[in-house]
Amino acid sequence: MSEHMRIGEVAARTGLSLRTIRYYEEVGLVEPSARSQGGFRLYTEPDVARLDLVKRMKPLGFQLDEMREVLLLLHDHGRGELRPEHAQRLRHYAEIAQRRCAELRERLETAEAFAVELRAPIQCEGTVT
């Protein structure tokens, strides 16, 4: 049997707030594997992995329903039950993720260029090292 973790440990491991983890449970993205006798949420390693996936989808702009579908498709794949039409859906999401990563890289390059531009006059003055 897997070792269970309480929500605080899961929050520390994932970098997500308790509130965010509870919200993800509320909207059906991640459910705790069990509850203690006192009603505390108990999570397993697969639960933490699922939260990590959600955390990685968030900056790419995936909506809740898209996240649910991706999680379901990946779960089916992990069990060896991925049908051809589901594989096509995963390819679709992979393409979206690739495109959004490229957009983020472009935005980051623009932001970094701006930061360099802001530092240039100050460095000429010798006040910033």
> Coil, strand or helix: which one is 71?
helix
Query: In this predicted model, what pLDDT tens digit does every residue of 8-30 receive, in sequence order?
Result: 999 999 999 999 999 999 999 99
Bridge partners, 41 (sequence order): 35
Parallel/antiparallel/unpaired status of strands 41-43 and 34-35: antiparallel
State residue 75's pLDDT score: 87
Query: In this predicted model, what pLDDT tens digit does every residue of 62-116 receive, in sequence order?
Result: 999 999 999 999 988 878 888 899 999 999 999 999 999 999 999 999 999 999 9
Residue 64: phi and psi, rounded to 5, are -55, -45
pTM of the model: 0.81
State residue 1's pLDDT score: 45
CATH dotted code for 1-51: 1.10.1660.10
Instruction: Evaluate if residue 128 carries a pLDDT over 60.
Output: no
Q: Which two tokens stand for residue 67?
A: 């996240």
